[in-house]
Structure 1
């Protein structure tokens, strides 16, 4: 019983961190474009929309996370606690860094890690999910790029649009589509906190989406400010109309994915859409910004990190296989040490040649 209560507490903690991270992927466009200039108001709108999305449309993705990645028969309270702890720890670290991390990638990575440890995976379903992790962001970038070029042509042909003559209706449009994007965040992300509990039979789907949606909303409202600032202000500047195009892209793609029960990386959808608009504005120079490089690296690392964490925790607390844990720890230390050494050598070489030490 203690393990069950602990798993529920960790799930609620994870839900709040999902809200904190998901804020950047849902309402940051309305905030960054100036449609909702006050951060507190933007986060409140985000929270309400996330809760409604979770309650009204979150059940299909919950079923996918709970039973379509690994057999639900291996999901007991202890295993669910491992999955949620791995996901929560990964996401908490990312939130401290202010990086808009994909909660779907983290949660799926944690579930897959458990499946690897038990040698029980629905590989075909996993491959479909991972494929859409690539397809959906690429589609978002392409759609946003087309939107951006179309907006440039529109503003060139009708200068009044660019000069702010139609700002009021455009502002309303951006707020509406921003709300819909946050709604889609609730639909897709509530499964990341509730799915493992539902799969283990700890809570029903209805209870999972209601309570999970509430705590994700609270996380967005009270903890989402830093990630909101990162996604809304630090990648590229954009107009109201461009902001509406980005939110529309995210809302359409994520709602469609949620209807079919696909957990997709919402932050990647929004961030790649923002990059698509930036590419339409400024060309390939947008890819040189360090914030984008940082986000891309975390996207790659996040599912692997959560997979290794959950796998290692299963080996410690379920299999009591200390030897495997020692190997994992050693590999991690060796990898970090190699990367650190390579970085040090690179810096030394740069200093050497800058001081005329080269040939």
Structure 2
């Protein structure tokens, strides 16, 4: 009887293990699909918005091909970083993988529903760090390197596009542009957008399948191939809305500026990917746009909300997924009730403090207006 009960318990454990593995794959490919749907299609927005590519489906197909090529031929280094370089491989069990993917994919999905722009790479790294903190096992040197480049690459993109636009002002461009030059500019813009999509494929597929590879649930080449397919499906099925929205927002960007923005972003993220650095490509592109705006509008750019938005995303993206992963591991795997209560208390205290500060600020402004009226 005892042997039968022991065998039954082992059977249940095997079934639960298999369920965890299946859910991990579902979350990984759901994440890849969302990555493709949410941000990758935006790489062709300038080409589509400027009319260089007139049909939206053509723009999405070009983006998909470049994205897929980048994932297949250049994502290996980033996948290795996200699979074993931030936390030790011994920590990455199927259960931990599932929590990392729930924290990163879930955070990104909710943010997309609320129209809050979070960085895919930062969300993933944050979730992995949360797991490392929960088990008190973290490769701090590699993490600090990644964080440094999170800041350095977008700032460099802003500086380069600023200098390119400033330098371009000294070149005399005739009012009537030769059709051959116009055609060349259109081709360069499409190539620059394709490079940006290629870089997105290199850098982003690892966010979805890196944890699976780290736990030994899938071979790296198989993981990259299948993850790339789901990213492409995301682009083709839901990318149309993203490209339409982005095109309307950046329609005022000229073809030369579009080449500078997409070209600089694509080149920088490509080089970062070759060194295995998961870089937030959306922030790099946004910073490149800010550099163009700074060259045109001078100091006024620093008064624009976009600058503060970039800073907030830098901070919020990794912290949110890190806290989520840490909380879930403490609650579900370590059964540490006391730590869970402390984490929840800190979150609630932070939210209430922010709410009180906002209310107090409004009340202060209201009191000042009343005094001025008197």
TM-score under structure 2 length normalisation: 0.89
The equivalent of 2:19 in structure 1 is 2
Match of 2:152 among 112, 135, 150: 135
Q: How does 1:83-162 map to 2 (within 5 A)?
A: 83-154=100-171, 157-160=172-175
Give the greater-gyration-radius structure (CA): 2
**How many Å separate the matches in 1 of 2:57 and 2:117?**
18
The equivalent of 1:265 in structure 2 is 280
Q: Any gaps of 5 or more consecutive residues in structure 1? A: none
Q: How does 1:16-31 map to 2 (within 5 A)?
A: 16-23=33-40, 26-31=43-48
1:98 is paired with a residue whose SS is coil
Q: Which shifted more, 237-246 or 286-295?
A: 286-295
**How many Å separate the matches in 1 of 2:147 and 2:42?**
19
- Alignment partner of 1:352 is 2:367: yes
**How many Å separate the matches in 2 of 1:160 and 1:171?**
17
**How many Å separate the matches in 2 of 1:144 and 1:112?**
32
Q: How does 1:195-274 map to 2 (within 5 A)?
A: 195-228=210-243, 231-234=246-249, 237-274=252-289
- Alignment partner of 1:62 is 2:41: no
Distance 1:200 1:353, change over 3 A: same
The equivalent of 1:285 in structure 2 is 300
Q: How does 1:327-346 map to 2 (within 5 A)?
A: 327-346=342-361
Q: Is the 8 A contact 1:24 1:229 kept in 2?
A: no
**How many Å separate the matches in 1 of 2:339 and 2:250?**
41
Displacement, 1:26?
2.6
Alpha-carbon deviations, 1:282-310, whole Å to 9, x = none?
12323333355334323320100000000
The equivalent of 1:78 in structure 2 is 95
Alpha-carbon deviations, 1:213-243, whole Å to 9, x = none?
1111222232334544565443683100100
Q: Any gaps of 5 or more consecutive residues in structure 2? A: 1-17
Q: Is the 8 A contact 1:3 1:77 kept in 2?
A: yes
**How many Å separate the matches in 1 of 2:331 and 2:302?**
41
Displacement, 1:24?
5.7
Distance 1:332 1:172, change over 3 A: same
The equivalent of 2:13 in structure 1 is none
Distance 1:27 1:292, change over 3 A: farther
Count of aligned positions: 357
2:39 is paired with a residue whose SS is helix
TM-score under structure 1 length normalisation: 0.93
**How many Å separate the matches in 2 of 1:148 and 1:247?**
14
Displacement, 1:21?
2.9
Q: Which shifted more, 215-224 or 93-102?
A: 93-102
